[in-house]
Every structure is written in structure tokens, then in C-alpha cells.
Structure 1
Amino acid sequence: MVLSLVSLCAKEVVSDHSSSPGWLRWVPRELYRPLLEAAFSSCRPLTVGELVQRWPERTLRIGGRRRQGQTAPNRLCIQALLLAVVRGLSDQRCSLHLLDLSGLQGDEGGMGDPMGGWSLTVALCTMVVQARAGARRTQRKEGDRERKRFSALERETDIKRERGQRKRGMDLSSDDGEMVECSAPTSEEDLIKGVRRRMEIVRKKETVVTALGGSKKESEGQEPETDVLVHVRADLFVNARSWERVRVALSTAGPLKLQCRYLRVEEISVSSIRTLLDLLPPRGLLGIDIRYSSLGVAGLAELLPQLSTFPALNSLRLHYCNLDFRRDHLGQEQALRDLSQGLRHLQELRQLSLTALRLPGQLRVLLSSLPQPLEILELPYLSLSPVDLAYLSTSHHASTLQQLDLSENRLDESIPSIRRLLSEASGSLQHLSLSGCGLTDGLLGLLLPSLGGCWALKSLALALNPLSMTGLVDLVKTAVRMPSLRQLLYPNPLEDYQPGLPDLPSSAQLLDWPLDDSTDISLTSSQLKRVLADGGRSDLFLTCDLLNYDKDLVD
């Protein structure tokens, strides 16, 4: 990545924090963005805080999809940013109205100490609550100051009134020249006027206290009204440890308003998920990811009507949520009908990911009810049957799929359906994963013509399939002829494993079985690279590293 002259100069400027008082007062608003980017890339948290505290624009976006080789922002820089946002609430130079941190979180413990999704969520919620507490302290100080000023004016008025009454009550008509005070009785009309005057004073005092968020409203248990100064948009990661903190932050009225773009929840109940959804504004949520929560079919059917109230929701991901139709339970058929009915109301759904839900034979019931064709469909570990794959190949989703994941589903009896599906999706499919599907040399040979016809395909994953070196070379020769393909995740050939593997090993056996130390594994890589060189494809990346494979790097 070649840096521009502005970026190079910005990195030099932020490298010395002691010089910041000299240039911060004079820097034009057009240079705030490159200076902030340089401060993040150089890990200068103090500079990040100073720039954000006086941010000259209404919007600040940090995050989004990172380019290849670009790391997530450092944890200290993110913490400095959040503190500066709170300080900027009282800084007249700050014009910030929207802070967008969508897509910011990195992997916990990754390179450069990035802030993970859970840590970022907790930090955001803490920032919202602290900003609210700070606003209340400021309101109380202003209220106390105004009450003191009003009391001083009241005392001054009382003193002037008392002096006037004394002056009018003096009688100078005595013969010896002495002043005599008249003690004429107060009339009923004067008493009424005095009561009205005192009531008016009390009413004005209560009005001032109420307007400043003072003790009267607080004593009644009501939250004083606070204007929202900055909207904070982010992806939230909630589990059992952080659920209460997130709930408090979403329900807190203060100068910072937390909004959620993508919600990821882990290990929390259906009722807790529903509580969170009730606190989210209906037009902000784009996707929900539910993991390791024992929803069951009935629980998911209960959630779907609430999800349909979010008009922009386009992504639903369910991972290990205890949906199992292989068990014979009473009421499952009705629950399945409720599930299908609930999916029918998700008008904008374009991505559906279901992992390890055990729904053999039920794919038609789920997918046929969706009103719009899907663009992303992920069905790993789903125990798909030949009936499921036959339906998928002829469904209204087949021709629009851009990303398809059928990993860890046995495909040996469904090769004709997979070929038909690939033919239908050949013009749109960009990412395909068939890892751990039991593809032997013979089965892969039947699929290669259909794979070669997917002219838009950018990434292909075929790890943990029992292929020999011969089948692997045939795969790479086909990949060389696919002009859009940029990444190929291939399996280790059977020749590279230690002796003792079964004739048709499963993906779990291939994952756990040790490689043969006596075999030079680099020979496999060298042979495949020669195939690439012969085909003139220096832009195609080959890897057998399953753990570090990332299909998104080609986008």
C-alpha cells in the first residue's frame, strides 16, 4: 500500500506529541481525518483524544472492512477515543453528532492488541452511563447555582420591602419631635395579597428547579429530560456477563444514545434476547447472530415475530442453538409451522446462516417461506439429506446465491443435485465452501466441470476431503482455468498422512490424524505451484492452512 504525501506528512506530525499544542490550534478541518488515521496507525492515543475532543465535523466513522494487511485499531487508541467523546460533550469546538464504530472490533488478543467485540461493547456501555452521570452532575451544579442566585434576589427584595414598610410606619407628628411607629392593623385584603405573593415565589422556585433537572423530579423518581448530543452506532456483542450492563446502557436517557447495527448474543435466554430487542430502535438493526443459546424450535418461533418489526433486518445467523428435528417431541410439527410463518415476515432477509441445527429433510419448509431470494446461505453441520439438496438446486434461491457454505454435509449421494445447483448459481456465486463433504477423487471429478463453469467464483474451500495427489492436481488445473478465482483452500493429500488411515476417512479423522514426518510436505506445495506457473496464474493463492483461511480477503 503506497501512502500519499498527506498521509506521510500526517504520520510525521503526530509522531511528536509534545508539539501538538503548536499545531492543533491552526490545523484546518480538512486535515483532521488524515491526522486521526495517522494517530491510529502509529498508536498515538493522546493525539487521538485531542483530535476527537475538538472534532470539527458532525460525523466520525472508525472501523468498517479493513484492507488486506491492515490491522484493527489499538485498544489504547479506542479507549482514548471514547474518553474524548465524553469530554467533547462540553467542548464548544466539538461538532460531533454521529460516532459510527460499526465493524470496528478485532479479535481478542490479536496482533497489535486490538479491542475485541465483547470488550468494545462493555466500554461503549460504560461510556454511555458515565456521560449520563456527568450530565446529571452538571445539571445539579447549574441548578444549585441558579437556586443560590434566586435566593439572593429574594433576600434582597425582602430587605427592600421591610425598609419601605418601616419608613411608611414612622410617625413624625409627635410634639417632642420623636419618631413614633404606627402599628395599624393589617387588613384582610393585605393578608390575601401576601399569601398570593408567597405562592407566586414558591411556584417560580419550583419552575426553575424543574427546568434544570433539580431535586424535585429526582425526589419523585423520574429521570430529567436530557437532549441527545451524540448518537453512537456500533455492533454489540452480548453474553451472560455483559447483558445487564448493555440493558442499562440501552435504556439510559442521556447525551449519548447507543444504537446497534449488528447484534451478537451468546448463551442467554429467549426472554433476555427479547428484552434487548425491545430496547433497540426499529430502523437501526441490520442483523442478529445468536450462538450457543438453547432456543429450541419453539423459542426461535417466538423470536421471529419480534424480528419482523425491524424493517431493515437482512441477516439472521443461528449457531448451535439446539434446534434438532431428529428427535421425536410432541408439538414439533406445529412449532415448525410457526417457524415457517415467522420467516415469511422477514421481508428484507438476504443472509441466512444455520450451523449444527440438525434439520434433515426440513430445508424446503424453511427456505420456501422466505419472500425474497437469499444471497448468502450457510448450512454447515446441518445433516442435509439428498431431499434437501434436491430442493435447494431447484429453489428460487439458487440463481441469486453469492455465497454458499455446505461444509460437513455428506454429498456422496447428492452429486447430481450439487451439479445442478452450481449450474444455476454459475453467474452469481463468488464464495463456495465444500470442506469436509467426503469428496473423493471420483466424486470431485464429477464436480469439476460444474465448478469450472462458475465464472464469478473468487474463493473455493475444499479442506478435509479425502483426495489423493492426483485428484489434487486435477483440482488445481481446473482452478487455473477459472479467471475470477483468487483463493483455493485445498486438503492435504492422503499421501502426506501417516499410515493407518481408513480407506474413506471422515473429516474428523483427517483433522486429527498426524502428518507423516518422513514425507516432505513442501513437495506438495512445489508441485501445485508448478501447475500454477504453467497456467500463468500468479494471482491465484493456494493454501492448506484451514485455521488462517479468510475468504473475505479477496473482496
Structure 2
Amino acid sequence: MVLSLVTLCARELVSDHCSSQCWLSCVPRELYRALLDAAFSRCCPLAVGELVQRWPERTLTVGGSRKAGECPPNRLCVQALLLAVVRGLTDKRCCLQMLDLSGLQCEDRRVDSMGGWSLSVALCSMVLQARSAASRAHRRDGERERKRGLEAESDQGTIKRDRGNVGCGNSGEGSQGGHRVEEVEKRKSRTNERMFPGNESVKGDRRGMEIQRRKTLSEAKSNSSSNNSSLCYHDWEEVVVVHVRADLFVNSRSWERVRDSLSQPGPLRLHCRYLCVEELSAPSIASLLGLLPQQDLLGVDIRYSSLGASGLAMLLPLLAPFPQLHSLRLHYCNLDLERTQPDQQGALQDMSKGLGSLKRLNRLCLTALRLPGHLHLLLSSLSQPLEVLELPYLCLTSTDMAYLSCSQHAPFLRELDLSENWLDESSLPSLRHLLAQAESSLRQLSLCGCGLSDTLLGALLPYLSCCRALRSLRLALNPLSRTGLLSLARTVAGIPSLHLLLYPNPLEEYEPGLPALPSSAQLLDWPLLEESEGRDLTLRLLDEILNLRGRSQDLLVTSDLLNYSPDLTVDD
């Protein structure tokens, strides 16, 4: 990759932190983006903090989709960015109003990056820290204003007393005139005492009335100032300086912190794009949904939460007020319909209605919910066709496959995952019809662990070859022989759009003792032959097929379940 001159110069600048005070004061605003990218790539957290604290634009986007091979931001740089956002609230040079951190998290533990869970905690801590700092600053400003007011009142009283003294001094001429005035006043007072014996009580009443009037005015002023300060305080609570948009990952340990950051107002306002919750109860998830801004949420991912049919029936209607919501993923939510439970059918009806209320839903994932024979009940309530449908470990029956192949969703599917659903000859016609319906739209297909033998796969190959938009095909943990695998390779090599084939190890590469038609669990646990001759032969035959079709460069063929590149499965 050839780097531009701007990028090279930016890297040199940010690497020398001692000179930052020189160039930060004169660098044009158009170069801040290049400098920040260089600070992230060179892992310079001090430079990241200084640039973000005085960010000259209204919007700052960090994260998003990364190119293949591009490393995510370093953990220290992300922490420096969050601290700088808080400091920038009091920096007049900072113009930041929208901070977009969507997609910033990274779950690759091989690099020193920040995962989704730790990033969410750091974001919430930043929001609470900014609110505490703003509250302290507001209290300090209020105390200063109060002291200024008291000093102003004191100065005003002093001026009035000075004016009175000056007026008395000017009534006579010199000191003698002053003594004469005092003597005259004394005579008048003695005369008044003789003529009006009750004058002392009159003066006392007037003095008391004056004191009471001043006390009433003072109380009115104090009440007015307290009301104004209270009003200003509530107005300050509603002022949002920076809006922060991010993906939130919440579990039982971080739930309270996330709830506090969303419920307490302050200068930073947190907006959630994708919400992923793990090991939370239905009421906790419901309270979290009630705090999220409704216009921002695009997807919800619920994992490992014991919700059951009743919990899902309660939560799904709560997602209806989010107008942009298009993705719903439910993983291992303890919904087992193979065991009969009280009011099970009513809960399923409520779930169906809840799914039907999600008007923009086009991505649905139901993992390990074990819903044999109920797919029609759930999917028929959707108002628009699904583009992404993931149904792994769902115990699908031939009836479910028949419904799916004829449903409104089949012609629009871009991604389909039927992994770990046992497919036999009874479901084969429906699967072939489904592939025929989705041949122009299907880009990702996963049939891992479906029990596809050479015979079943051979019946599917003509329909797979017609899927001209297919980019990724995953068939791991299926009981194929080497002959069946080579037949598969010849077929998929003729699909010009295909970039990834995840194939199963052929049965010839396993230790002896496997049953005739092993399950995916048996194939996963059964040891492979220690000798590499069988694997070398398979790789050599696959290379010959790819070279013959001219696909050795642009088609990745692998049996590695853990280390194949997920970037190849992403749409262009």
C-alpha cells in the first residue's frame, strides 16, 4: 500500500509529542482527520487526546467498518479519546457535537484493542464523569454568583450610608456649623418631647415597620434567587453538548452502570445503535429498552438469558416503538417447545404478534430455541420479507422446510443459516425448491452439521450451481467422502461470485471406528489421523480442481472452522 504525503507527514508529527504545542496552534482544521488517523495507527494516545480535546468539526466518527487487515484502535488510544471528550466540554476551541463510535469494538483478543463489553463500561463511565464534572462546575458558578450578589448589596448599602453622611456634613459651615446643627437638633427633640410625650413610641413603631419591610424584601429576593437558581439547574440538566452514538454490550455486571448513564441527564447524551444483552432477566431488559432513544436503535441481540416463551412474549411488543429496528437476534433464550408447558400455545401466539409489530424487521436469528413444527406460526406474522434468516439448532422438521420454501421470504433471502438441523430425504425437495427460489438473491449459505451425505449433497449440487450471487458456502461437519468433496469443489468452482468454501474433512481422514452416518458432534470430537498423507492428498486434489477452473487466487477453500477469514463473507 502506497501512503500519501499527507499521511507520512502526519505520522511524523504525531510521533514527536514534544513538538505538539508548536504545530497544534497553527495546523488547519482540514488536517485534523489525517492527524487523528495517524495518531491511532501509530498508537499515540497523547496526540489523540490533544486532537480530540480541540476538535474543530461538529462531527467525529471513529470506528465503523474496517478494511481487511486493518487493526482496530489501541485500547490506550480509545481511553485517551474518551477522556479528551470530557475535557473538551470546557475547552472553547472544541466544536464537537456528535461523536460516532459505532463499530469501534473488537473481539479479537490477539490485538490490544477494546472489546464491546469493556468499551460500553468505559462509555458509560465517561457520561457519568462528564455529568459530575458539569455539576461541580455549575455549583461553583452558582456560588460565585451568590457571592457577587452579596458583595453588590453590601457595596450599595455602603454607598447609601456615605451619601447620608455627606449630606449631613454639608448642612453647616465647617465644624462649627456642624455643632450648631447638632445643638439645633437637640433643642428640637427636647421641644418635641415636651410637646408630644408619646413621640418615642412613634419612632419605635416606625423603626419596627422599617425593619419588617426590609426583612420582607430580603426574603423575597432570596426566594426569587433560589427559584432562579433552581430553574437554571433544571435547564442545565437538559442541555446536551455532545451526542454519543455507539453499540452497547450489557451483562448482569454492567447493567446498573448502563442504566444510570442512560437515565441521568447531563452534557453527554448516549445513543445506542445496536444493543447486545447477555444473562439479563426480562424485566431488566424491559427497563433498559425504556431508557433508549427510540429513533436510533437498529438492532437487538439477546444472549443466554432464561426468558422462555412468556419472557419473549413480554419483550417483543416493547420493540415496536423503535421505528428503525430491523435486526433481532435471540441466542439460547431457554425456549424449548419439545417439552410441553402450561399456556405454551398462548405464549407462542403472543410472540407471533410481537414479531408482527416489528414493521421494518428484515434480519432474524433464532439460535437453539428448539421450535419444531412452529416456524409457520412465527414467520407468517411478519409484514415484510426477511433478507437474513438464521435458524441454527432449531430442530426444524420437514413441515418447517416445506413452509420456508414456499413462504414470502424465500425469494428475498440474502443470508440463510440452517446449521445443525438434520436434513434427510423428506426435507430434500423443500430445500431444493428453496434454493431455486433464492438463486438470484442468496449470498451466504450455511449448512454445517446437517447430516448431508454424498447422495444428499449430490442431489443439491445442480441447485447450488444456479445460485449465481453466492459468495460464501459453509458445509463443515457433514459426513462426506473424498469423492463427494471433490464433486462439491468442481461444482462451486463454477460459481464466479463465490469467495469462500468451508468444507468438511472427508471421512477418510478420521481414525477408524466412526459410524456409517456420523453426527456433527461425533465428527467434531473424533480424532483425525496423525499421518498427514490423507490431508495432503485432499489438498492436492482440491488445488488441481481450482487451477483447472482458474479459481486458485480468488476462491478460498478451507476446512479450518476457527481461523477462516470472516472478511470474505461480508458483502461488497
Between the aligned partners of 2:559 and 2:65, the Cα distance in structure 1 is 25
Q: Give, as a single letter, the amino acid of the residue that structure 2 aligns with 1:18.
A: C
**Which stretch shows the higher mean deviation, 62-71 or 378-387?**
62-71
Contact 1:142 1:212 in 2 (8 A): no
* Residues 182-201 of structure 1 aligned to structure 2 (within 5 Å): 186=203, 195-201=212-218
Q: Give, as a single letter, the amino acid of the residue that structure 2 aligns with 1:459.
A: S
Contact 2:68 2:567 in 1 (8 A): no
Between the aligned partners of 1:476 and 1:482, the Cα distance in structure 2 is 10
Q: Give, as a single letter, the amino acid of the residue that structure 2 aligns with 1:483.
A: P
Between the aligned partners of 1:453 and 1:189, the Cα distance in structure 2 is 106
Q: What SS class does the counterpart of residue 464 from structure 1 fall into? A: coil
Q: Is 1:511 aligned to residue 514 of structure 2?
A: no
Q: Is 1:150 aligned to residue 149 of structure 2?
A: yes
**1:5 Cα deviation after fit:** 2.9
Q: Give, as a single letter, the amino acid of the residue that structure 1 aligns with 2:58.
A: R
Q: What SS class does the counterpart of residue 237 from structure 2 fall into? A: coil
What are the Cα deviations for residues 256-311 of structure 1, in whole angstroms up to 9, with x where unaligned?
00111111001110000010011011111111000110111111111111110111
What are the Cα deviations for residues 352-395 of structure 1, in whole angstroms up to 9, with x where unaligned?
00000000000000000000100000000000000001100000
**Which stretch shows the higher mean deviation, 163-172 or 233-242?**
163-172
**1:519 Cα deviation after fit:** 3.2
Between the aligned partners of 1:193 and 1:534, the Cα distance in structure 2 is 109
Between the aligned partners of 1:179 and 1:60, the Cα distance in structure 2 is 77
**1:227 Cα deviation after fit:** 1.0
**Gap change, CA 1:352 and 1:76, over 3 Å in 2:** same
**1:140 Cα deviation after fit:** 1.2
Between the aligned partners of 2:500 and 2:392, the Cα distance in structure 1 is 20
Select 2:319's aligned residue among 307, 328, 331: 307
**Which stretch shows the higher mean deviation, 202-211 or 445-454?**
202-211
**Gap change, CA 1:196 and 1:473, over 3 Å in 2:** farther
* Residues 331-346 of structure 1 aligned to structure 2 (within 5 Å): 331-346=343-358
Q: Percent identity at matched positions? A: 58
Q: Give, as a single letter, the amino acid of the residue that structure 2 aligns with 1:179.
A: E
**Gap change, CA 1:450 and 1:156, over 3 Å in 2:** same
**Gap change, CA 1:471 and 1:164, over 3 Å in 2:** same
TM-score, scaled to structure 1: 0.94
Q: Give, as a single letter, the amino acid of the residue that structure 2 aligns with 1:260.
A: C
Between the aligned partners of 1:478 and 1:277, the Cα distance in structure 2 is 47
What are the Cα deviations for residues 30-86 of structure 1, in whole angstroms up to 9, with x where unaligned?
111111111111111111111111111111111111111112111100000000000
Structure 1 alignment gaps of length 5 or more: none
Q: Give, as a single letter, the amino acid of the residue that structure 2 aligns with 1:58.
A: R
**Gap change, CA 1:124 and 1:526, over 3 Å in 2:** same
Q: Give, as a single letter, the amino acid of the residue that structure 2 aligns with 1:539.
A: D
Q: Is 1:477 aligned to residue 490 of structure 2?
A: yes
Select 2:338's aligned residue among 326, 336, 339: 326
What are the Cα deviations for residues 122-158 of structure 1, in whole angstroms up to 9, with x where unaligned?
0001000000000011111111111111111111122
Contact 1:213 1:225 in 2 (8 A): no
Q: Name the structure where helix makes up a greater proportion of residues.
A: 2
Contact 1:140 1:213 in 2 (8 A): no
Report what 1:357 is aligned to.
369
Report what 2:182 is aligned to.
179
**1:212 Cα deviation after fit:** 5.0
Q: What SS class does the counterpart of residue 340 from structure 2 fall into? A: coil
**1:28 Cα deviation after fit:** 1.2
Contact 1:376 1:403 in 2 (8 A): yes
Between the aligned partners of 1:21 and 1:166, the Cα distance in structure 2 is 58
Structure possessing the higher radius of gyration over alpha carbons: 2
Report what 2:8 is aligned to.
8
Report what 1:526 is aligned to.
540
Q: Is 1:136 aligned to residue 150 of structure 2?
A: no
Q: What SS class does the counterpart of residue 272 from structure 2 fall into? A: strand
Between the aligned partners of 1:316 and 1:6, the Cα distance in structure 2 is 42
Q: Is 1:430 aligned to residue 433 of structure 2?
A: no
Q: What SS class does the counterpart of residue 177 from structure 1 fall into? A: helix
Report what 2:80 is aligned to.
80
**Gap change, CA 1:361 and 1:2, over 3 Å in 2:** farther
Q: Is 1:498 aligned to residue 511 of structure 2?
A: yes
Contact 1:419 1:447 in 2 (8 A): yes
Q: Give, as a single letter, the amino acid of the residue that structure 1 aligns with 2:275.
A: L
Between the aligned partners of 2:343 and 2:566, the Cα distance in structure 1 is 40
Q: Is 1:273 aligned to residue 278 of structure 2?
A: no
Between the aligned partners of 2:112 and 2:226, the Cα distance in structure 1 is 47
Between the aligned partners of 1:63 and 1:165, the Cα distance in structure 2 is 71
Report what 1:549 is aligned to.
564
Q: Give, as a single letter, the amino acid of the residue that structure 1 aligns with 2:537.
A: L
Q: Give, as a single letter, the amino acid of the residue that structure 1 aligns with 2:88.
A: G
Q: What SS class does the counterpart of residue 352 from structure 1 fall into? A: strand
TM-score, scaled to structure 2: 0.91
Q: Is 1:399 aligned to residue 402 of structure 2?
A: no
**Which stretch shows the higher mean deviation, 166-175 or 467-476?**
166-175
Select 2:257's aligned residue among 234, 245, 253: 245
**CA RMSD, Structure 1 to Structure 2 (Å):** 2.3
Report what 1:123 is aligned to.
122
**1:19 Cα deviation after fit:** 1.9
* Residues 153-302 of structure 1 aligned to structure 2 (within 5 Å): 153-165=152-164, 177=180, 179=182, 186=203, 195-208=212-225, 211-212=228-229, 225-302=237-314
**Gap change, CA 1:36 and 1:174, over 3 Å in 2:** closer
Contact 1:139 1:213 in 2 (8 A): no
**Gap change, CA 1:458 and 1:211, over 3 Å in 2:** farther
What are the Cα deviations for residues 473-524 of structure 1, in whole angstroms up to 9, with x where unaligned?
1111111100100111111111111111111111111111111012332332
Q: Give, as a single letter, the amino acid of the residue that structure 2 aligns with 1:368.
A: S
Q: Is 1:35 aligned to residue 38 of structure 2?
A: no
Q: Give, as a single letter, the amino acid of the residue that structure 1 aligns with 2:455.
A: G
**1:208 Cα deviation after fit:** 4.4
Q: Give, as a single letter, the amino acid of the residue that structure 2 aligns with 1:547.
A: L
Q: Give, as a single letter, the amino acid of the residue that structure 1 aligns with 2:63.
A: G
* Residues 442-453 of structure 1 aligned to structure 2 (within 5 Å): 442-453=455-466
**1:103 Cα deviation after fit:** 0.9
Contact 2:418 2:448 in 1 (8 A): yes
Between the aligned partners of 2:402 and 2:516, the Cα distance in structure 1 is 28
Between the aligned partners of 1:309 and 1:553, the Cα distance in structure 2 is 35
**1:16 Cα deviation after fit:** 1.7
* Residues 453-468 of structure 1 aligned to structure 2 (within 5 Å): 453-468=466-481
Contact 1:313 1:346 in 2 (8 A): yes
Contact 1:316 1:349 in 2 (8 A): yes
Report what 2:197 is aligned to.
none
What are the Cα deviations for residues 426-464 of structure 1, in whole angstroms up to 9, with x where unaligned?
111111100010011111100111111000001110011
